[in-house]
Amino acid sequence: MMGQRILLIVGGGIAAYKSCELIRLIRKSGGTVRCVLTEAGQHFVTPMTLAALSEQQVHTSLFDLKDETEMGHIQLSREADLVVVCPATADLMAKMAAGIADDLATTLLIATDKPVLAVPAMNVRMWSHAATVRNVARLRADGVTVVEPDEGPMACGEYGPGRLPEPPAILAAIERHFAERSHAAAVPPTGIRTSALAGRHIVVTAGPTHEPIDPVRYIANRSSGKQGFAIAGALAALGARVTLVAGPVQLATPGGVRRVDVETAREMADAVAHALPADAAVMVAAVADWRTAEAPQKLKKDGSAPAALALVENPDILATVSQSRDRPRLVVGFAAETNDVIDHAVAKRARKGCDWIVANDVSGDVMGGEANRVHIVTASGVESWDELPKDEVARRLAMRIADAL
Ligand code: CTP
Superfamily of domain 5-185: Flavin prenyltransferase-like (3.40.50.1950)
Q: Is 225 in the pocket of ligand 1 (CB under 6 A)?
A: no
Which residue, 247, 244, 245, is CA-closest to 218? 247
Does 188 score more than 50 pLDDT? no
Residue type present at position 373? R
Q: Which residue owns the Cα nearest ligand 1 atom 19?
A: 286
291 compared with 159, residue with greater pLDDT:
291
Question: Do 60 and 11 form a contact (C-beta atoms < 8 A)?
Answer: no
Question: Which percentage of the chain shows pLDDT scores above 70?
Answer: 93
User: Measured between alpha carbons, how far is 269 from 69 in angstroms, rounded to an integer?
Assistant: 65
User: Measured between alpha carbons, how far is 63 from 60 in angstroms, rounded to an integer?
Assistant: 8
159 compared with 210, residue with greater pLDDT:
210
In 93-240, at which residue ranges do the beta strands (DSSP E only) sit? 116-120, 145-146, 150-153, 159-163, 201-206, 211-214, 217-219
Q: Pocket of ligand 1, candidates 223, 317, 358: which has the most ligand atoms within 8 Å of its Cβ, to mutate?
A: 317
Domain-wise residue ranges, the chain: 5-185, 189-404
Respond yes or no: is residue 20 known to be catalytic: no
pLDDT digits 0-9 by tens, 241-251? 999 999 999 99
pLDDT digits 0-9 by tens, 153-184? 877 788 888 999 999 999 999 988 887 765 55
Least confident of 255-264, 317-326, 380-389: 380-389
Q: What is the pLDDT of residue 73?
A: 76
Q: Pocket of ligand 1, candidates 262, 283, 362: which has the most ligand atoms within 8 Å of its Cβ, to mutate?
A: 283
**Distance separating the N- and C-terminal Cα atoms of the chain:** 19
331 compared with 382, residue with greater pLDDT:
331
Question: If you average pLDDT over residues 100-129, what whole number do you get?
Answer: 94
The distance of Cα 100 from the centroid of its chain, to the nearest Å, equals 27
- For 189-404, CATH gives 3.40.50.10300
Whole-angstrom CA distances from 296 to 3, 213, 218, 308 are: 68, 9, 13, 11
> Using CB atoms within 10 A of its CB, is residue 263 exposed (0-12), middle (13-18) or buried (19+)?
middle
Q: What is the pLDDT of residue 12?
A: 96
Does 187 score more than 60 pLDDT? no
Does 195 score more than 90 pLDDT? no
Element (DSSP H or E) covering residue 182: helix 167-186
Q: Is 231 in the pocket of ligand 1 (CB under 6 A)?
A: no
Atom of ligand 1 minimally distant from the CA of 344: 28
